Structure 1
Amino acid sequence: MSPDLTAPVFSPAALVVAAVVFAYLLLVEPLWGRRMFEVLKRDRDTDPGLYVRFFGTGMAVFWGLTGLTALTVLLSPGAEWAHLGLHGDVDWGTVAGMFVGFAVAAVMVTLLARWKAMPVSPTLDPMLPRTTRERWCAVGASVTAGVCEEIIFRGLLIAVGVSLGLPLYVAAGAALVVFTLAHLYQGAKDMLLVGLLGCALTYLYLSTGSLIVPILVHVLVDLRALLLTPRPATGRSGQFTPAA
């Protein structure tokens, strides 16, 4: 089952709004995100409130972009929420099987990381929470990323691309490129992993026809990364302490 993208018709006003969202994602988010992340890495240990401000700002921006995405539908009599994949008409038995498999894989990866004391990515390390407040912030950031990024990158961008005459898979590929570039701050190596995750999420969307599955998977992936990744202990012992 593919998304309901057979005939989305966005109004001129909606296309202007979509163009603003696209321009931000392509031209602003990669560079601004990298700058903000460099500040986080530099001042993480000396500024107690920086972690919450970093993720709080990101959450505010992406919920704002999601609001603009909703506006494109509200401004377009020829576009519906289903064109953005926002419907629940999926095979929930298959979805349940996917999540059982994901849960097993997540537990195995987490146990292996703790057992082998695997080194934390330099990109991920500054983003691991250290206090209860930061853990709640990480939960909010994970939910925001799962919901907002899926609606924007896979919902809006693919639907608009199809409405402009692009074949479905070309529009999906273009959206995947923008999704990957938006994570420029993570560096080339981690951007490759982001691209692979984006491919998997795009496949889930196109194969189920709904954003519900990729949203849930995206949230769980981020929660596992931020809350279950072992964090290096202070000092040079090489031992690891849990992030949770």
Structure 2
Amino acid sequence: MTTTLLAWPLSAALLAAYLWYVRGGDVARGSGRIARYRRWMRRAPLAIGASSLVALWIGGRIDALFVMPGEFSALARSARHIAGFGDDIRGFQLAVLGGFAGGVVIGLVIGWWRARRGKRQLVAGNLERILPRTRAELAWTSMLAITAGVVEELFFRLALPLFATLASGSALLGFALALAAFIFAHRYQGRIGMAFSGIAGALMAILYLSSGSLAFAMLVHALLNLNGLVIRPALIRPTAP
């Protein structure tokens, strides 16, 4: 088990990797949107993906990839109470996937209706810099959507809150720190986008704690990203060849 003494430097190392990621500058002006996608695909897996795995390995907590840490048990009970499914984890997972599928269909119908009438699409914040405009960009956003679902859950729902919990003695504080970092990482979306990112991050934390499965949280996160960055743009927003 990770000692409190070791948890502090590991927490600091994770935050340093995170700051390197969010404050690492942007591509040169005029480089194009695909250059921005490529930059993200280089930096994010390294900064928040690899750093999480290394911290878990050094801290002797690789098992947390497959079994939810015991330090989260009290919060997990509260999350299951909020979710309203108690210990019926399978029922909770099916309800989440069913609700997601229904939301996608409703969102597509609304988006199609607004597009037919020339109305602006409803988006949560400023997403223009990442929404695809061509088929080539659509392929890149597909990779981004899946990769983000994996590495962001690994970092913001497991590694950072775990070591922050071990350092502070409070799981609630650990998840609060991770949520704040998650919100700040989406600052490019503007205030509205950050607000929605905060809601999404809190819901993903509840989903992870309720299900006890990091893999399930990764799956749902990736599906949400695919819906917003791939499915909706491909079916509603016209893309050039």
Shorter-normalised TM range: 0.7 to 0.9
Task: Indicate how the Cα distance of structure 1 residues 8 and 243 shifts in structure 2: closer, same or farther if over 3 A, else same.
Answer: farther
Unpaired segments of 5 or more residues in structure 1? 1-6, 232-239
Matched residue, 2:37: 55
* Superposition deviation, residue 168 in structure 1: 1.4
Aligned-partner Cα distance in 1 for 2:52–2:237: 40
Aligned pair partner of 2:149 in 133, 146, 151: 146
Which whole-Å CA distance do the structure 2 matches of 1:87 and 1:139 have between them? 28
Q: CA deviation at 1:228?
A: 2.9
**Residues 242 and 8 (structure 1), Cα distance of their counterparts in 2 relative to 1, 3 Å cut:** farther
Distance 2:37 2:67 in 1: 28
2:84 pairs with 1:102: no
Q: Is residue 137 of structure 1 aligned with residue 158 of structure 2?
A: no
Matches of 2:101 and 2:3, distance apart in 1:
39
Paired with 1:106 and 1:174, the residues of 2 have a C-alpha distance of 30
The percentage of aligned residue pairs carrying the same residue is 26
d(CA) in 1 for partners of 2:51, 2:4:
13
Q: Aligned partners of 1:158 and 1:189: how far apart in 2? A: 25
Q: 1:243 to 1:104 in 2, by over 3 A?
A: farther
CA distance in 2, matches of 1:179, 1:170: 14
SS at match of 1:130: coil
Counterparts in 2 of 1:30-45, with a 5 A limit? 30-32=22-24, 36=26, 43=30
Query: Please, what TM-score do these two structures have when normalized by structure 1?
Result: 0.76
Tell me: CA distance 1:17–1:174, structure 2 relative to 1, closer, same or farther (3 Å).
Answer: closer
For the pair 1:205 / 2:187, whether they are aligned, the reply is: no
Give the structure with the larger helix fraction: 2
Q: Please give the alpha-carbon distance, in whole angstroms, between the structure 2 residues aligned to 1:11 and 1:63.
A: 27
Equivalent residue for 1:86, pick from 55, 66, 78: 66
Query: Is residue 18 of structure 2 the alignment partner of residue 21 of structure 1?
Result: no
Count of residues in Structure 1 that have an aligned counterpart in Structure 2: 214
Residue by residue, what CA displacement relative to the aligned partner does 1:170-229 show, whole Å, maximum 9, x if unpaired? 211111011101111111111001111001101101112221222111111111111233
1:93 to partner: Cα distance? 4.4
Q: Which residue of 2 aligns with 1:236?
A: none
User: 1:194 aligned to 2:197?
Assistant: yes
User: Matched residues in 2 for 1:170 and 1:10: separation?
Assistant: 15
Contact 2:5–2:167 (Cα < 8 Å) also in 1? no
**1:85-135: per-residue Cα shift (whole Å, max 9, x none)?**
5349x9344313311211111111121012023524572223222333221
User: Per the alignment, do residues 67 and 181 of structure 1 end up closer, same or farther by CA in structure 2, a change over 3 Å counting?
Assistant: same
SS of the residue 1:139 aligns to = helix
Which range moved further: 112-121 or 211-220? Answer: 112-121
Aligned equivalent of 1:119? 120
Match status 1:72 vs 2:75: no
TM-score by length of 2: 0.77
Maintained 8 Å contact 1:15/1:72: no
**Compared CA separation, residues 153 and 191, structure 1 to 2 (3 A):** same
